[in-house]
Chains A and B, each alone.
Chain A
Amino acid sequence: MELQLQHLSKQYGTNHAVEDINVSLAPGVYGLLGANGAGKTTLMRMICGVLKATSGDIRFNGKTMQELGEDYYAHLGYMPQDFGFYPDFTGREFMLYMAAVKGLGKRKAKARTEKLLSMVNLQEVADKKIKSYSGGMKQRLGIAQAELNRPSILILDEPTAGLDPKERVRFRNLISDFAKEKIVILSTHIVSDVSYIADTILLMKKGRFLLQEPMAAVTDNIRGKVWEILVPEWEAASFREQFSVVNLHHEGSMVRLRIVHENPPADNAVSVEPGLEDLFLYHFGEEQEGK
C-alpha cells in the first residue's frame, strides 16, 4: 500500500499555499507539523479530494485519484479540522448517515456504528442530539465517523485541538488503536501529541516540506543546538528577548531556561538532548513569536 504525492502544489493567485510536495507514504503514522498557515490543512484537503490541486498528482497504489474515482474515496477516512455536525441528528443517526455516504450496506453500517460508538465511549449518549455533546464528545464522534469504512488512508486534521489533557490522552490512544496497517496523516501543532504516536515526522513550512524523517532521527540535526542555563530572575527577560526559549522553570530565585540556538547562549549553558518541541521552535520560533 502506497500513497504518493507528486509535485503537488496549490496556488491562490500569487500565493503558494502548498508548493511542489513530493512524498511517498507507506503504512505508518505521519505527524504533519507546521505553524499556522504552513499549508497543512490545504495539503490534507487535497489528499482528501475536497480541494483541487493547481498541479501535481495524488496516486494510491500507482493509480491517480481521478482514475480511481469513487474507489479512492472508499479507501479514505477524513476528520477535518473544526468540522460541523448536524445538530438535530443524534450521534447514532450521524454515524449511520456517514456510513451511507461512505457506501456501507445497512447491516454493516449498523454493526460498525455500534462498535465504533462503543470504542469512542459514546454508546450511552448515542441517541442524544449532537447539539448536546461537549467538544470532546464531538471530536470522538468525528474520529469514529472517519473510521467507519476501515480506511486505508486516515487523515486527521488537528484532532486534539481544544481538548483538555485527559481527553487528549484518550484521543491519542484511540488514534493508535485505529492506526494499524494504515497510512495515517496526523496534523497538529501540539507537538507532544505527535511525539507519542507518530512514526515519521513531516515538517512543513511555507507550503513546503522542510523535513521528512523517522521519529527516532528527527531531532538529530538539532543535536548540539539545545541548551539549558540557570540564570537569576532579573536576567531571564533579556534571554527571552534574544533567544527562542522552549521552556522556563523557576527554581527559587533562579530561572532555568531551555533555549534553542546555533551557539551556546552563555558560557555556562549546557547542551541537552533535543526533543520535538525544540525542533518545532528551532524552525518556527521566529514565525511563532514574530521575531
Chain B
Amino acid sequence: MLVKYEFLKIIRKKSTFIIMTASLLLTAFLFGLPIIQYQTYNQDGVIQGAQGIAYVKEQYSMSVPLSEEYIAESIGEVQRLFADSQNVGYDGNERFLIGDAYWNHIAPREKMLNMIAKTYDSPQENSGYQKLAELEAAEYNNFYQAMEDKMQALRNTPSRGLSDAQKAYWSNMADKIKVPLQYGYFEGWEIIMSSFELLVFAILSICIAVAPVFCGEYQAGTDAVVLAGRFGKTKLITAKIAASFLFGLLAFSLHVVVACGLPLMAFGADGWNLPVQIANTTIPYPFTFLQAALVSIGVIYLILFAMISFTLLLSSKMKTPYLVIIVLVPVLFFPIFLTPNGTTGTYNLTLFLLPYRAAMSDIGKYISYQFGNLVLDAFSMRAILYAMLTVIMIPFAKRGFQKHQVAG
C-alpha cells in the first residue's frame, strides 16, 4: 500500500512527466540518429537513411560460415581481381579495386573482407580488404590461427601491461569462442552496442525524478507529519526506496525499449545469434550480439540502481532536490571530459569504472582488474562494484531520513 502511494507521488509530479518525456525524446533522437544519418553507396551514388538501410539489407546481407576453405577462397578471389591491372586503381597511397570488380565482387561483402584483412594486421595496423592481395597462401589458409595470434599479440603488447594471470584469463576466455564463426548481417546490433553510454542521459533523468523522494518531504514540510506516523521511520522509508527502484526499473526499461527498438526496427534484429567476433576478431568474449547487448545492458541497470541509491542518500541528507541534482550531474558527466590514455594504470582503470565510461561496453579492450590471484573483466568488475554501491548506500539513505530533525 505504501509502495503504491510512494510510486504515485513520484509519477504524479508534473516535473516527472516533463523530465521523462524530454529524456525519452532525447533517447529516441540519439538512437535514431544513426538511422537518419545512415548512408551507403552503389554505382549510381549515395543512398541515405531508410532507403540505404533497405538497399544494404537486400543487396549485401549474407549468411555464411567462415570456414578456412571459404576464407581462403575469398582471399584467392580478391588476389585474382587485383592481378588484373584493369581492375585496380591507385591514389598515390594505396591500390584498390575499381569498376565492376569492386561493385560486383567486393562491395556486397566488403565489411566481411575488411574484418578478415584486419585479422592479419599487426596490433598497430588498420588495413582494408586491399591487404588480402598481399597475403601468402600459408597465411590465408590459417585464418583462425591468425585470429589467435593477433589476440595473443594484443595481450602481449607491453603498453597494455597485463600480468600473466590476466593474460591467462583472457586466453581462457578466448578459447571458448566457437569456430568457425558464422558470418551474417548484424548492422542493428553494431549500432546499439556502440551507443550504450548515451543511456546515461536516461539515468540522469530518472535520478532527477527520484531526487525529491526524501528531501521533497523536507521542502514541502510534510516531514513532520509522516515521521510522526507509526511507520514513518521504518516501513515508509522501505516503501520510498522500493518505489524509487520500481520507478527507475520501469522508466529505464522504457528507455531501453526505445534505444534498442528504433535501431532494431530500422535495421532488423538479424544477427542476434551471431558471434561478436564477426565485427572484430580480437574481441575475447565468447558472446553472440544478443548476449553482449544483454550483459552490457545488465551492467547499465546496475549503474542505474547504484545511482538511484546515491540519489536517495543525497536526498535524505540535503534540504532540496536542486542540491541533489547539483551533486549528481558532475558525478555522472565528469568522466565525459576525461580521456583514457590506455587500458592499464590506476587512472585508466578507475576511469573505466566511472558511470559514463562504465556504460560503454568496451568489449574489445581487454580491460581487467586483478586482486591477488583473482582476475575480473570489466563487465564483472563493474557489475560487482555497482551492486555493492547499491547495497552499501541504501542503509545510509534510510538512516538519513530516520535521523532527520524537523527544525527551523
Residues of A within 8 A of B (CB): 42, 45, 48-52, 70, 73-74, 76, 78-80, 82-86, 88-89, 93, 96-98, 100-103, 106, 109, 142, 145, 149
Contact = CB atoms under 8 A, between A and B. Distances in A.
A84 B232 CA distance: 16
B227 interface: yes
A165 to B, nearest CB: 26
Given A74-B230, A84-B220, A52 B405 contact: yes
A227 B372 CA distance: 90
Given A84-B220, A97-B5, A49 B227 contact: yes
A70 B236 CA distance: 12
B407 A51 contact: yes
Contacts of B14: 88
Interface centre among A50, A85, A142 (most CB of B within 10 A): A50
Interface in B209-240: 220-236
Contacts of A109: 1
A76 to B, nearest CB: 6
A73 B224 CA distance: 12
Interface of B: 1-2, 5, 8-9, 12-14, 220-236, 405-407
Report the 3 A-B pairs with minimum CB-CB distance, sorted nearest first. A84-B220, A101-B229, A84-B221
22 contacts: A42-B407, A45-B407, A48-B224, A49-B228, A50-B224, A50-B228, A50-B406, A51-B406, A76-B228, A78-B224, A80-B228, A83-B221, A88-B14, A93-B8, A97-B2, A100-B1, A101-B231, A102-B231, A103-B230, A106-B1, A145-B225, A149-B230
Given A48-B228, A84-B220, A101-B231, 16 more contacts: A48-B227, A49-B227, A73-B232, A76-B228, A80-B228, A83-B221, A83-B222, A86-B220, A96-B1, A98-B225, A101-B226, A101-B229, A101-B232, A101-B236, A103-B231, A103-B235
Contacts of A83: 221-222, 224-225
A60 to B, nearest CB: 13
A247 to B, nearest CB: 35
A80 B221 CA distance: 9
Contacts of A78: 224-225, 228
A148 to B, nearest CB: 9
Contacts of A85: 220, 222
B225 A93 contact: no
B224 A89 contact: no
Contacts of A101: 2, 226, 229-232, 236
A141 to B, nearest CB: 11
Nearest to A129: B12
Nearest to A12: B407
Nearest to A71: B230
Contacts of A50: 223-224, 227-228, 405-406
A80 B225 contact: yes
A50 B224 CA distance: 6
A106 B1 CA distance: 8
Contacts of A93: 5, 8
A37 B14 CA distance: 36
A47 B312 CA distance: 28
Nearest to A105: B1
A89 B226 CA distance: 15
B232 to A, nearest CB: 6
Interface centre among A83, A93, A106, A149 (most CB of B within 10 A): A83
A142 B228 CA distance: 13
Contact of A100 (B5, B13, B228, B407): B5
Contact of A80 (B1, B5, B224, B236): B224
Contacts of B233: 73
Contacts of A98: 225-226, 229
B44 to A, nearest CB: 58
A73 B234 CA distance: 11
A152 to B, nearest CB: 13
B8 A89 contact: yes
Nearest to B227: A50
A45 to B, nearest CB: 5
B99 to A, nearest CB: 68
Contacts of A73: 228-233
B7 to A, nearest CB: 11
B310 to A, nearest CB: 25
Contacts of B235: 103
A102 B228 CA distance: 9
B336 to A, nearest CB: 34
Given A51-B406, A96-B5, A101-B2, A70 B228 contact: no
Contacts of B8: 89, 93
Interface centre among A48, A82, A84, A102 (most CB of B within 10 A): A84
A181 B166 CA distance: 74
Contacts of A84: 220-222
A78 B8 CA distance: 24
Contacts of B228: 48-50, 73, 76, 78, 80
Contacts of B406: 45, 50-51, 80
Contacts of A106: 1
B393 to A, nearest CB: 24
Nearest to B218: A84
Nearest to A17: B407
A149 B233 CA distance: 17
Contacts of A82: 221
A70 B12 contact: no
A52 B227 CA distance: 12
A89 B405 contact: no
A86 B224 CA distance: 13
A86 B221 contact: no
A195 to B, nearest CB: 27
Contacts of A89: 8-9, 12
Contacts of A102: 229-231
